[in-house]
Amino acid sequence: MAAVAPRPQHRARRFPVATVPVLVRAAVALGALAVLALWWQGTGAVTGAAGWLTGAGRITGLLAGYAAPVLLLLMARLPFLEREVGADRLARWHAFGGRYLVALVTVHVLTVVWGYALTDGQGVLGEGVEIVFHYPEMLKAALGTLLLLGTGAASARAARRRLSYEAWYFLHLATYLAVALAFGHQLATGADLGVGTPGRAAWYVLYLGTAAALGWYRLALPWLRDRRHRLVVAEVRPEGPGVVSLFLTGRRLDRLRAEPGQFFRLQFQAPGLRWAANPYSLSAPPHPGHLRFTVKDLGPHSAAVAALRPGTRVRAEGPYGAFTGRLHRRPKVLLLGAGVGITPLRALFETLPGEVTLVQRARGPEELLFTRELALIAARRNATVHALTGSRAEVGELGAALGRLVPDLAEHEVYLCGPEAMAAEAVRALRAAGVRADRIHHESFAF
C-alpha cells in the first residue's frame, strides 16, 4: 500500500466559486414567493381576528410544505450541488432551514387551531381535538408534526452534543416519514393549493420529484456502485493514539472519479457497524488500486473501525464534497488543520499546484499526524510544513502565530479543516489578518 498515487489533474470548474450557491439561494427564494402568490390568488378579503389568524396559519402551512422537500433535496446527494456548492455548506443550509421549518410548523398549528376556534366559538383545546380526529388526513399530519418537532428538538445544539452521530443519523430518518405523513393533509385540506390548477400539479412535481431524487441518489445509485466496485478492507494501519488509516481495495476504482479533499460515507459490513453510514475523508489522493481513509476514535463507530479485519465488505456512498483543488485560484495556498481535520489536507498537500504551506495545529507533538509523510511530500515538491503545538496560552493569538509562520498571510488562499471551535477561531484570525472571505474554504466535521 506504499505506492504513490499519480497526481490528478483537477477538472476545471464550469462556474465561478460563488455563482452556483447564489443561484441556488435565489431559486429557493423565488419558489417561496411563488408559494405566497398561490395564497394571495386564492384568498379574498381577510377580516376579523379569526380571519387574520387563519390566514397566518395558511401562509405558514404553505411555506412549511414548500420548505420540507427543499430541505430534503439539499441533503439528497445531488451530484451538481455536491460538486458546486459542497456538502459542508449544504449541511449548514439544511440546519439553518430546519430551524425555520420547525418555527413555521409551530406557528401554523397554533394559528390555525386558534383561528378555527374563534370561528366555531369553542375553546382552543376542543378545537384542536376536533381538527385532529375529524378532519381528513389530520391524524397522520399530527403524527408527522410530532416527529418533525421531536427531530428539531434533538437537533438543537445543547441536545446534539449529547447524541452520537449514529443516533442523530437514525433520528433524522424520521423526517422522511414526517414529510410523507403531512403531504396527504396538504392535499386534502389545503385550499390554497388550488384544485385542478397548475399550482397543485407543481406541488406534486416538487414532492414526487424529491422522492425520486432521494430514491435514486440515496438508495439506488449507492447500491449500483456497491455492486460495481466491491470495496473491501485491505489493511488497517495505526497512525497514532486512537488513529488508524484504513485502506480499501475494489474493482474499477478510477470510475469513482474521486478527488483529493472529498469524502465518502462508509458502511462497514461488520457487527455493530452495518446500519450506519459515517463520513470519512480521503487521507491520500485516490489510487486506481485503493482508497485510503484515516479515522480518529471519536465515538463507538470510529473506535470499532480500528478492529476491522481485512476482507470486511464496505458499502461506500460518494465521493462527496467541493473541498477540492477546483476551488484553487491563488498561486499561494495555506492548508490549516487540526485533529482528524488534517486528513483531507494531507491529500490536498500532495496534489495542489503552486506554493503550498501546511500548518498542523495540535496540543502536543504526540497528536501530530502524518509527520514523516508530510516531510517527504514537502521535500519532493518543495513545499513547507509547520507544526503549531502547545496550549492556547503557549501558542498565543492564532492570527499572530500564523503571521509568524506565514508572513504574507493575506496573499494566501486558505483551506481550513478541524474541530468546530478551532475552525471558528481560525476564520476570525484569518479575516483579521486580511484574508478575504472568498479565499477561505472551510470543511466542517460538525453534524
Domain end residue (candidates: 175, 192, 224): 224
> Considering the domain boundaries, does residue 178 fall inside one?
yes
Q: Given pLDDT bands bounded at 50, 70 and 90, which one contains residue 80?
A: confident
102 plus 185 within the same structural domain: yes
Round to whole Å and give the CA distance between 311 and 270: 11
> Considering the domain boundaries, does residue 26 fall inside one?
no
38 plus 178 within the same structural domain: yes
Round to whole Å and give the CA distance between 264 and 270: 18
370 plus 305 within the same structural domain: no
Domain end residue (candidates: 320, 343, 375): 320
CATH number, domain with residue 371: 3.40.50.80
272 plus 352 within the same structural domain: no
Q: What are phi and psi of 414, to 5 degrees?
A: -120, 130
> Considering the domain boundaries, does residue 53 fall inside one?
yes
Round to whole Å and give the CA distance between 435 and 443: 17
**Chain centroid to CA 424: how far?**
17
157 plus 179 within the same structural domain: yes
- Counted residue by residue, the chain has a size of 447
> Considering the domain boundaries, does residue 11 fall inside one?
no
List pLDDT tens digits, range 314-347: 999 889 888 898 888 889 999 999 988 899 999 9
> Considering the domain boundaries, does residue 257 fall inside one?
yes
Domain span including residue 408: 325-444
265 plus 199 within the same structural domain: no
Round to whole Å and give the CA distance between 79 and 321: 9
92 plus 192 within the same structural domain: yes
Q: What is the mean pLDDT of the chain?
A: 84
Q: Given pLDDT bands bounded at 50, 70 and 90, which one contains residue 399?
A: confident
At residue 26's C-alpha, the angle toward residues 103 and 33, to 5°, is 60
List pLDDT tens digits, range 341-390: 899 999 999 999 999 999 999 888 888 999 999 999 999 999 999 998 98
CATH number, domain with residue 281: 2.40.30.10
209 plus 88 within the same structural domain: yes
At residue 399's C-alpha, the angle toward residues 422 and 393, to 5°, is 70
Domain tally for the chain?
3
DSSP state letters, 325-361: GGG--SSEEEEEEEGGGHHHHHHHHHH--SEEEEEEE
Domain end residue (candidates: 224, 252, 284): 224
Q: Is the distance from CB of 341 to CB of 367 less than 8 angstroms?
A: no
List pLDDT tens digits, range 32-77: 998 888 778 777 767 788 888 888 888 898 899 899 999 999 988 8
> Considering the domain boundaries, does residue 3 fall inside one?
no
* H-only helix segments in 75-123: 79-84, 87-120
> Considering the domain boundaries, does residue 298 fall inside one?
yes
Q: Is the distance from CB of 411 to CB of 386 less than 8 angstroms?
A: no
176 plus 101 within the same structural domain: yes
DSSP state letters, 111-176: HHHHHHHHHHTS-HHHHHHHHHHHSTTHHHHHHHHHHHHHHHHHHSHHHHTTS-HHHHHHHHHHHH
218 plus 353 within the same structural domain: no
142 plus 213 within the same structural domain: yes
314 plus 335 within the same structural domain: no
Question: Which residue type occupies 444?
Answer: S
CATH number, domain with residue 137: 1.20.120
Round to whole Å and give the CA distance between 434 and 439: 10
> Considering the domain boundaries, does residue 40 fall inside one?
yes
